[in-house]
């Protein structure tokens, strides 16, 4: 555990636990790497090395005023990979982290990426376009941003209500809510603006590693159509349907998620 410095001097917190083949995790909006607690435990017990990055503005990382676009965040991932000397690693990107994983896989082909997992990824586009009828409208994301500015804890509570398909214990819900509360408010807003505005359709054909797409059939945040669009755009990709999950596959079907991941990285 420690910090890696990004190109602009931002200190990025990295949790590095275990040994063996490295699996790098990129968290969703607006949590931090601790959302993968139950994946970390399973991987370490199976003999893998868990590496979880807190994006800038989240968790224990610095929270600069700028740098929340996908290109910069992918560069941050590159600096962690370079700083730790990783080769032949699997990258797991969840939700916003999945979008950044797509950008990274397309732009940093020489880093040694072996396999890619996109779990409930906010890609190729998070918001609707004239030629892309999937996801939230820009007005809906703008309302989410306005709610963040007005009452961030309440916004997070509402966001949490549509995150999972299954009902989880109140302590578990409180724990997950806390992960988002510790994020910076300006990073939360700037990342939502990136989710609203960025388009990764050009990046999908550039990905040439084996890719597993994990997606909940009942996802209310990143509709299942996202998975189908990614499968069409990435040459070596396949979808694993999570029939009992919403957006939060990591908890809705925790055992299936862990088993599917372990089978894929072997």
> What are the tens digits of pLDDT across the range 188-244?
999 999 999 999 999 999 999 999 999 999 999 999 999 999 999 999 999 999 999
Q: Look up 19 and say whether it is catalytic.
A: no
CA dihedral 111→191→69→80, nearest 10 degrees, is -30
Is the backbone of residue 47 left (phi > 0), alpha (psi -120 to 50) or beta?
Answer: left
Residue with tokens 């990591």: 250
Bridge partners of residue 15, in order along the sequence: 52
pLDDT value of position 1? 75
pLDDT digits (tens, 9 = 90+) for 57-114: 999 999 999 999 999 999 999 999 999 999 999 999 999 999 999 999 999 999 999 9
pLDDT value of position 6? 98
Find, among 99, 114, 77, 93, the residue nearest to 249 by Cα: 93
CATH (domain of 143):
3.40.50.1820
Q: Look up 95 and say whether it is catalytic.
A: yes
**What domain count does the chain have?**
1
Contact assessment for residue 98 and residue 118, using Cβ atoms and an 8 Å cutoff: yes
pLDDT digits (tens, 9 = 90+) for 24-59: 999 999 999 999 999 999 999 999 999 999 999 999
For the chain, the helix, strand and coil percentages under 3-state DSSP, each to the nearest 5: 45, 20, 35
Q: Look up 76 and say whether it is catalytic.
A: no
d(CA 52, CA 209): 21
pLDDT digits (tens, 9 = 90+) for 1-17: 799 999 999 999 999 99
User: Catalytic one among 62, 215, 245, 247?
Assistant: 247
User: Is it true that the peptide bond before 30 is cis, omega within 30 degrees of 0?
Assistant: yes
User: Catalytic one among 95, 184, 191, 245?
Assistant: 95
Dihedral (CA of 171, 175, 255, 46) sign: negative
Expressed as residue numbers, the domain containing 191 is 2-265
Q: 199 is written with which tokens?
A: 């388009």
pLDDT digits (tens, 9 = 90+) for 144-172: 999 999 999 999 999 999 999 999 999 99
pLDDT digits (tens, 9 = 90+) for 229-258: 999 999 999 999 999 999 999 999 999 999
User: Catalytic one among 54, 62, 76, 219?
Assistant: 219
Consecutive H or E run containing 12: strand 11-17
The model carries a pTM of 0.98
Length reported for the chain: 266
């Amino acid at each position: 555990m420690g910090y890696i410095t990004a190109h602009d001097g931002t200190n990025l917190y990295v949790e590095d636990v275990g040994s063996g083949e490295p699996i790098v995790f990129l968290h969703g909006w607006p949590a931090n790497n601790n959302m993968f607690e139950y994946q970390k435990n399973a991987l370490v017990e199976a003999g893998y090395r868990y590496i979880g990055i807190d994006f800038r503005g989240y968790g224990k990382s610095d929270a600069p005023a700028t740098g929340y676009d996908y290109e910069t965040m992918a560069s941050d991932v590159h600096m962690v990979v370079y700083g730790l000397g990783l080769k032949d690693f699997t990258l797991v990107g969840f939700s916003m982290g999945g979008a950044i994983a797509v950008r990274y896989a397309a732009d940093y082909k020489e880093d040694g990426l072996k396999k890619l997992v996109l779990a409930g990824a906010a890609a190729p586009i998070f918001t609707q376009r004239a030629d892309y009828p999937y996801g939230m409208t820009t007005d809906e994301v703008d309302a989410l941003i306005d709610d963040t500015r007005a009452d961030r804890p309440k916004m997070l509570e509402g966001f949490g209500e549509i995150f999972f398909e299954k009902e989880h214990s109140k302590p578990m819900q409180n724990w997950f809510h806390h992960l988002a509360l510790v994020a910076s408010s300006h990073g939360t807003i700037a990342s939502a603006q990136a989710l609203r505005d960025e388009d990764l359709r050009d990046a999908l054909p550039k990905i040439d590693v084996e890719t597993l797409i994990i997606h909940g059939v009942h996802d209310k945040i990143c509709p299942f159509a996202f998975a189908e669009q990614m499968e069409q755009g990435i040459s070596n990709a396949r979808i694993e349907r999570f029939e009992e999950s919403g957006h939060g596959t990591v908890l809705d079907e925790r055992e299936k998620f862990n088993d599917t991941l372990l089978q894929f990285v072997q």
